[in-house]
Amino acid sequence: MLLGVAGQSGLAAAEEGSGRLPGGFVYLRDVAPSVLQDMRYAGARNFTGKPVPGYGAAECVLQRAAANGLKRAQEKAQAQGLSLKVYDCYRPERAVRAFMAWAAAPEDGNTKRYYPRLAKSQLVPGYIASQSTHSTGLAVDITLIPAGQPVEASVAGANGACTAAAGEREGDSSLDMGTAFDCFDPKANTASPSVTAEQSKARMLLESIMESAGFENYASEWWHYTFAGVKDRRRYDFPIGPHRSGQ
């Protein structure tokens, strides 16, 4: 059911059962195919350690206005020999509920590297909230990658804290932003004084590119941006399915 849209449960059920995206939503690859996709919640490389409910395919889905904004941002990145890479886009509300359930479960230590200086009980509500702008289809988790780099990069044996040096934390093909993606730590704050000058420069470059295309940064996470040009902020709960061209 599409949550957050009062009185539309019938429409929601029809949309979910049909396999089509709701009106106004698109697959990013149909709008900006050159933006790289490393969709972490569709697999196990995320703070829960497993695929998250609602992510039936590793696809970036967004409202069309936000997708068009990413297309403009990608053009600016490419002009500087870079590319955008998204980690997450539209997030079904069922995934948000799964995050809350994970946070309430006992600590098993398997993904402690994502919150090395906090107890799991401290993650809600400061880092994990019961509602997410991602569920509007207007928010993205994003980074910059040098042109020609693979979507993913692995460092053998590198499984250190998300706050560790680039060669010690989980591998990524991104510019060095000072922390890994989804790092629940003050060092992930966009303007954190704990990162190096080069890491701060990379964050500011990402912010400049994204803001020029109509996105606003969430100050607590260097990777999180929301498209500001759409007033309708209803949240949705349709699952993400395999790409269907032209939707």
The pTM of this model reads: 0.91
| Percentage of the chain exceeding pLDDT 90 | 82
What one-character-per-residue DSSP string does the chain give?
A: --TTSTT-HHHHHHHHHHTPPPTTEEEHHHH-TTSEE--GGGSS-STTSSPPTTB-SS--EEEHHHHHHHHHHHHHHHTTTEEEEEEE----HHHHHHHHHHHHSPP-STTGGGSTTS-GGGSTTTTS-SS-GGGGT-EEEEEEEETT--S----TT--B-TTS-TTTBS--SS---SS-TT--SGGGSTT-TTS-HHHHHHHHHHHHHHHHTTEEE-TT-TTEEEE-S--------PPB----TT-
Residue with tokens 């398997």: 110
What does the alpha-carbon distance between residue 74 and residue 83 come to, in Å, rounded to a whole number?
6
Measured from the Cβ of residue 22, the count of other Cβ atoms closer than 10 Å reads 20
Band the pLDDT of 214: cuts 50, 70, 90.
Answer: very high
Residue 187 has pLDDT above 90, yes or no: yes
Give the domain CATH number at 25.
3.30.1380.10
CB 217 within 8 A of CB 225: yes
Total structural domains in the chain? Answer: 1
Residue 4 has pLDDT above 50, yes or no: no
The string of pLDDT tens digits covering residues 29-63 is 999 999 999 999 999 999 999 999 999 999 999 99
Distance of alpha carbon 227 from the chain centroid = 13
pLDDT, residue 58, reads: 98
In a domain, 234, yes or no: no
In a domain, 238, yes or no: no
> Could you confirm whether 221 is annotated as catalytic?
yes
- The CA–CA distances, whole Å, from 16 to 1, 21, 37, 220, 240 equal 7, 8, 23, 33, 10
> Exactly one of 59, 93, 170, 221 is catalytic; which is it?
221
Tokens linked to 211: 């803001």
> 182: closest CA among 59, 75, 91, 108?
91
Band the pLDDT of 231: cuts 50, 70, 90.
Answer: confident
What does the alpha-carbon distance between residue 169 and residue 179 come to, in Å, rounded to a whole number?
8
Domain range holding 223? 9-227
Residues 143, 147, 149, 155: is their CA dihedral positive or negative? negative
In a domain, 235, yes or no: no
In a domain, 52, yes or no: yes
In a domain, 152, yes or no: yes
Provide φ and ψ at 170, rounded to 5°.
Answer: -50, 135
The string of pLDDT tens digits covering residues 127-173 is 999 999 999 999 999 999 999 888 887 665 578 999 999 989 988 99
What does the alpha-carbon distance between residue 136 and residue 63 come to, in Å, rounded to a whole number?
8
In a domain, 121, yes or no: yes
Band the pLDDT of 19: cuts 50, 70, 90.
Answer: low
CB 40 within 8 A of CB 140: no
In a domain, 233, yes or no: no
In a domain, 3, yes or no: no
